[in-house]
Structure 1
C-alpha cells in the first residue's frame, strides 16, 4: 500500500464517492482546515466544468469510499 501524501498545492486528486467518481481536482492552496481546489475533469468527462473552484476539508483527502485519492503532482519541498 502506498502512502497518501499531505495535500499540497499543485497536486491532482480523484473523487472516490460513487456520485462524483472520476472527478479530478487540483489543489490551488491550503490553510489550517481546508484545501482550495479547482476542478480539472468532471465526473462524466463530457460535462466537465474546468476551473470551477471550491473548498474541501483536509480530512477528506484519504482513500476512503467518500474521500479522495492522490493521483499526481505537487510542489517539491
Structure 2
C-alpha cells in the first residue's frame, strides 16, 4: 500500500471504483487473514439493489485504487 492508501482496518470507509457500482461506499466492520467484512455505508440508491447495512466479504487485495478495486475515503470513529 502507498502512503496515501493505508492498510485496510476496522472503521475505515472505502469507495468502489467500478463504474457499475454507482460510487458504492462500504465500512469495514471486521478483518481476517484474507478478507474484510464490510457493510454498505450510504443510503440506498434508486438503481442499486443493495440494502443499507448489508454485509459482505471482500478480499483484502482489492483494497487498492485500481479500476476493479476500492479507494480509501476516511475513518469512522
TM-score (norm 2): 0.84
Q: CA RMSD in A?
A: 2.2
Offset at residue 21 of structure 1 (A) = 3.4
- Which among 64, 69, 72 is matched to residue 71 of structure 2? 69
Matched-pair contact (CA < 8 Å) for 1:41–1:49: no
User: How many residues end up aligned between the 2 structures?
Assistant: 74
Structure 1 stretches lacking a partner, 5+ long? none
User: What residue number does 2:41 align with?
Assistant: 40
**Structure 1 Cα separation of the partners of residues 63 and 22 of structure 2:** 14
Partner deviation per Cα, 1:3-49 (whole Å, 9 max, x = no partner): 2000000000000011113100000010000000001126x733562
The separation in 2 between residues aligned to 1:26 and 1:50, in whole angstroms, is 11
SS at the partner of 1:63? coil
